Chain A
Amino acid sequence: MKMHRYEKIWLFLAASMLVIAVVYSGVQTFALGQGPPSGVGMIDPEKVEETAPFDNPGISKIGENEYEVVMILRAFSFEPNEIEIPAGATVHFKMTSVDVMHGFQVIGTNLNAMIMPGHIQEAKQKFKKPGEYLVICNEYCGIGHQLMSMKIIVK
């Protein structure tokens, strides 16, 4: 199999680019703690409301400017549907669905996760800038999908 010299150079550069992209993604995931939301916890989707911590959804303070938000997603709402935190706070989200698949996207941040029944999704985000953040369901979940949103108010 003969290859032109330019082709060899081009393909070497191409392969390097692909490998670097993956390696950098790995560095971000494992060295910088910026892996994609990958919660591995599980739950019976029919018993969410009686299983801790989802029997008590809402926000709680867990440390110095650290909060935990336990959230239930259902067609077509978030519970809680509004939370308030001080600027600079880090929020740890624990989320699950009681019915179909949903999405959890905080507009204006990189926080974006799939929420599936039976699985407990986890994600964390530091909110530096004050303001009102729109949170939406970005996975089609039924006739009222376009109404499913909540707010995070950072003061």
Chain B
Amino acid sequence: MEEIEKQSKLRKMSGGNRLDSRLTLTYFAIAFVTLLIGGLLGLLQGLNRAGLLELPTNFNYYQVLTAHGILLVLVFSVLFVIAYFYSILSHTMDGLFPIVRKMGWISLVTMLIGVVFVITTVVMGTASVMYTFYPPMKASPWFYVGLFIVVAGIWIAAFGGFIQIAKWRKRNRGQHIPLLAFFAMGVFTLLFFGSLGVTAEVLMLIPWAFGWTETINVMLSRTLFWSFGHTFVNIWYLTAVSLWYVVVPKVIGGRLFSDTLTRVVVILLVVSNIPGGFHHQIVDPGMSEGIKLTHALMSMVIGFPSLMTAFAMFFVFARVGKKKGAKGVFGWITKMPWGDVRFLAPMIAMIFFIPGGAGGIAQNANQLNQVVHNTLWVVGHFHITVGVTAVLTFFGAMYWLIPYLSKRTLTPAMNKLGVIQTLIWTLGMVFMAGGMHTVGLLGAPRRTSYTTYGDSATAASWDPYLLLLAVGGTLLTIGLVLIVYIVFNLMFLAPKGNTEFPIAQGEDNASETPKWTERWSVWIMIMLFIVAFGYVFPLVDMIRNAPPGSAPFITW
């Protein structure tokens, strides 16, 4: 026992387990190279939409857009999330178990093999189907094979996480798993269960794309896709939320809001999440208005834990502000360490979730959805939710997590560069997402290259706003280059030293967290029950009352 304690102390002093940090740093390095490539493709799109750049036919807008979506939505975010939570498990549980570390490597190699298949087919022009790959548009079968391999890699990482947590619990009977590891448990649960539907879809698409089966059920495929699509968005969000609850209070010199309520938020987000996918299908045919309304309610429920989070965050800020002598309701604002990028980046991320979350709730109302469905509004929405709320929080983590892992330090100069990066990124998103929201309300469609629709006056009225996409995109590109430079600098060049892994403690008078929060078997059962409630009836209906299936089409 003493020996273990000594070892764990040693590890903490040495900045984590070297073998673990080699794994997670590799993930982060690949993630940020992916971000750089995917982001630069985004700039090309922004310039095209503004009418400033015509893309060549062998590297056209739709190819670029497909690659942009896959690289950022699938590859960057998944690599980041796995690396972040593996770092957390390693730090809070005194190192990864050797089998788990091995699974981390196998997962990485598997995912990269899958990505090579996917990206090769996109570059060759045989898979310009967007990251949503709705049939009956048919990509090269190897595109779907690649997707399947990527998902298999994700599962390996998720099961590595489960094994780590199970083994730790066996060794630490009667103890709560650390709060950040509790978030990891939630995220790995969603990664696994949330990707089951899309796996079923891909397994139907593969034989169809090879020509072994003749037709595909279009509606079923689309529904299975969105059971995954929306869950993944919430995985990134839950990842960001973990940092808000646990890291941000420490950075500003405060304590946890409440260990129990934080765990309750995780549980609520996990159990309620998967049926949210239906709100992507509000204007679809083949589903009754009654089902759509039921699902409006089921999606709305996901907003509730976020409103709990909103309260928790401001409560923590106010409490810290008061301790530091702030007066009045908003006095805490002057007491926050705005110049500390570890605070500034996640704080701006949170602020953006106010319009982001509100926009989400509005879009979910059936009639308002009809106003914005498939317009650029939606693209603006997910660029402030994913691109700021999630991603800027991820960036914020890099300023302490990378030096912690690489045994280096964040210098004041690098902190300043981080602040500049954060502000440029924010401004870029204000222009780009602001333009997208506005022009989307005017009707400009998403996923459409520059067009005048035969010199239509209506389409011409969108042009000034579309110019904002290019302005914002250019600023974002500067921010992109900066963050990639910062991450690699912190990995390889920053001065050596020890960096703290900031984890806030509970209040001294905090009540003990009840044992029932640990009953993950119960939470997973409830989650499956809610998934069944949301999906069984519509899916059975889509399979039993299906129209004749669709043959494949290649329309690009």
Contact = CB atoms under 8 A, between A and B. Distances in A.
Interface of A: 1-4, 6-7, 10-11, 14-15, 17-19, 21-22, 24-26, 28-30, 34-46, 75, 99-101, 103, 105, 107-108, 110-122, 134, 136-147, 149
A11 B453 CA distance: 47
Contacts of B128: 143
A136 to B, nearest CB: 6
Nearest to B280: A114
Contact of B443 (A6, A17, A42, A105): A105
Contact of B550 (A108, A115, A118): A118
Given A38-B288, A103-B445, A118 B219 contact: yes
Given A25-B296, A115-B285, A1 B514 contact: yes
Contact of A21 (B136, B304, B361, B450): B361
B292 interface: yes
Contacts of B449: 145-146
B218 A136 contact: no
A14 B304 contact: yes
B301 interface: yes
Chain B's interface size range is 35 or more
A29 B367 CA distance: 8
B454 A11 contact: no
A150 B456 CA distance: 10
Given A10-B307, A110-B371, A146 B448 contact: yes
A-B pairs, 6 with minimum CB distance: A142-B555, A118-B547, A146-B451, A42-B547, A107-B443, A14-B307
11 contacts: A7-B311, A14-B304, A41-B285, A42-B545, A43-B547, A105-B373, A105-B374, A112-B371, A118-B219, A143-B555, A145-B448
A46 B551 contact: yes
Nearest to B263: A1
A15 B303 CA distance: 9
Nearest to B297: A22
Contacts of A28: 366-367
B289 interface: yes
B468 to A, nearest CB: 19
Given A45-B548, A140-B447, A142-B556, A35 B130 contact: no
Nearest to B295: A22
A107 to B, nearest CB: 4
Nearest to A7: B311
A7 B130 CA distance: 42
Given A11-B307, A18-B304, A110-B367, A45 B547 contact: yes
Interface in B286-305: 286-289, 292-293, 296-297, 300-301, 303-304
A34 B366 CA distance: 9
Contacts of A142: 62, 137, 555-556
Contacts of B448: 136, 138, 140, 145-146
A121 B307 contact: no
Interface of B: 60, 62, 128, 130, 134, 136-137, 218-219, 222, 258, 260-261, 264, 281-289, 292-293, 296-297, 300-301, 303-304, 307-308, 311, 315, 361, 364-367, 369-371, 373-375, 442-443, 445-451, 453-454, 456, 458-459, 511, 514, 545-551, 553, 555-556
B370 A11 contact: no
B541 to A, nearest CB: 10
A24 B454 CA distance: 39
A26 B297 CA distance: 10
Contacts of A114: 281, 283-285, 373
Contacts of A34: 367
Nearest to A44: B548
A123 B109 CA distance: 49
Contact of A1 (B62, B134, B261): B261
Given A45-B550, A110-B367, A110-B370, A138 B446 contact: yes
Nearest to B60: A143
A145 B514 CA distance: 56
Contacts of A41: 285
A84 to B, nearest CB: 17
Contact of B366 (A10, A29, A138, A139): A29
A143 B287 CA distance: 29
Given A18-B301, A25-B366, A112-B373, A36 B546 contact: no
Contacts of B222: 101, 116
A29 B311 CA distance: 32
Contacts of A26: 293
Given A110-B371, A117-B550, 4 more contacts: A19-B300, A22-B300, A101-B222, A138-B446
Contact of B556 (A105, A120, A143): A143
Contacts of A7: 308, 311, 315
A69 to B, nearest CB: 16
A98 B549 CA distance: 12
Contacts of B458: 107-108, 134
B159 to A, nearest CB: 31
Most buried by A among B303, B315, B364, B445: B445
Contacts of A10: 307, 311
Contacts of A19: 300
Most buried by B among A28, A46, A116, A140: A140
Nearest to B449: A146
Contact of A18 (B261, B361, B370, B373): B361
Given A24-B365, A142-B555, A105 B445 contact: yes
A119 B286 contact: yes
B136 A117 contact: yes
A147 B53 CA distance: 18
B378 to A, nearest CB: 10
Given A25-B293, A43-B547, A105-B445, A134 B367 contact: no
B451 A38 contact: no
A88 B293 CA distance: 30
B136 A30 contact: no
Nearest to B548: A44
Given A1-B261, A14-B307, A119 B292 contact: no
B366 to A, nearest CB: 5
Nearest to A118: B547
Given A38-B287, A118-B546, A143-B62, A18 B308 contact: no
Given A35-B289, A43-B547, A1 B264 contact: yes
B361 to A, nearest CB: 6
